[in-house]
A and B are shown apart, each in its own frame.
Chain A
Amino acid sequence: GAGVSQSPSNKVTEKGKDVELRCDPISGHTALYWYRQRLGQGLEFLIYFQGNSAPDKSGLPSDRFSAERTGESVSTLTIQRTQQEDSAVYLCASSLATGGEQYFGPGTRLTVT
């Protein structure tokens, strides 16, 4: 079975542009997470989806950030009006709700120039 996939792997954008990052979780995983990892730092929780429940958006840093998930499949993280401080690796992970173990994708490296 395929693991978590993310696209694009790298994205360079100009300040002020919008970007959309995609995550394909492992089939059957009801939980999906987005994290941000700035260079040399730990993982910063952004948002969490669990089945059909309302997502936990408590980690989104500003209203420029939003995410959607279609059922228990693909998720997209959108950053509007990008700023240089948004430059980071954005990681997606999925898990079975009962296990809690998360399986991570390879990440999208976002560079805002």
Chain B
Amino acid sequence: AQSVTQLGSHVSVSEGALVLLRCNYSSSVPPYLFWYVQYPNQGLQLLLKYTSAATLVKGINGFEAEFKKSETSFHLTKPSAHMSDAAEYFCAVSEGNTGGFKTIFGAGTRLFVKA
């Protein structure tokens, strides 16, 4: 069965600083991996996804994530934080077609951006 661990329930960065949100997963088959974002008082929306193509995935709003099989990681990064990036970020894993697309979400990391 798949699982997801997000390291750090809260991350605080200064505006313009690097954003790094950590995600480790476990899966018995090659996984599909996702990052979703939940802005205050809004619904969840997809940031980016990995589905066995390029290991470096680019998403919306300047975010990207790298799939590292050896480390079972899928960390989310952005070179320069903006105030509008303050939100809650969720990493998710699915076992894709093999596992029927059941998706497990991590507990979430709340990103704070300081001026």
A97 and B46 CA atoms in complex are apart in Å by 16
Q: Are A42 and B108 interface neighbours, CB within 8 A?
A: yes
- Whether, in the assembled complex, A65 has its beta carbon less than 8 Å from a beta carbon of chain B, the answer is no
Q: Are A35 and B105 interface neighbours, CB within 8 A?
A: yes
Q: Mark A9-40, 1 if CB is under 8 A from B, else 0.
A: 00000000000000000000001010100000
| List of A residues within 8 angstroms of B105 by Cβ | 35, 42-45
| List of B residues within 8 angstroms of A104 by Cβ | 36, 43-45
Q: In angstroms, how far is the closest chain B Cβ from the Cβ of A51?
A: 10
- Whether, in the assembled complex, A1 has its beta carbon less than 8 Å from a beta carbon of chain B, the answer is no
Q: Are A100 and B94 interface neighbours, CB within 8 A?
A: yes
Q: Are B108 and A48 interface neighbours, CB within 8 A?
A: no
Q: In angstroms, how far is the closest chain A Cβ from the Cβ of B27?
A: 13
Interface size band for B: 20 to 34
Chain A residues within 8 Å of chain B by Cβ, number: 25
Q: Are A53 and B100 interface neighbours, CB within 8 A?
A: yes
Within 8 A of A (CB), among B92-113: 92, 94, 96-97, 100-108
| List of A residues within 8 angstroms of B46 by Cβ | 101-102
Q: In angstroms, how far is the closest chain A Cβ from the Cβ of B44?
A: 4
A-B pairs, 4 with minimum CB distance: A42-B107, A43-B105, A104-B44, A42-B108
27 inter-chain pairs at a CB distance below 8 angstroms, sorted by A residue, are: A42-B106, A42-B107, A43-B92, A44-B105, A45-B102, A45-B104, A48-B100, A48-B101, A48-B102, A48-B103, A53-B100, A91-B43, A91-B44, A93-B44, A95-B101, A97-B97, A98-B97, A100-B51, A100-B103, A101-B49, A102-B36, A102-B46, A102-B103, A104-B44, A104-B45, A105-B43, A107-B43
Q: A50-B100, A100-B94, A102-B103 are in contact. List 19 more A-B contacts (CB 8 A).
A: A31-B101, A42-B105, A43-B90, A43-B105, A45-B102, A45-B103, A91-B43, A95-B101, A97-B97, A100-B32, A100-B51, A100-B96, A100-B101, A101-B49, A102-B34, A102-B36, A105-B43, A106-B43, A107-B43
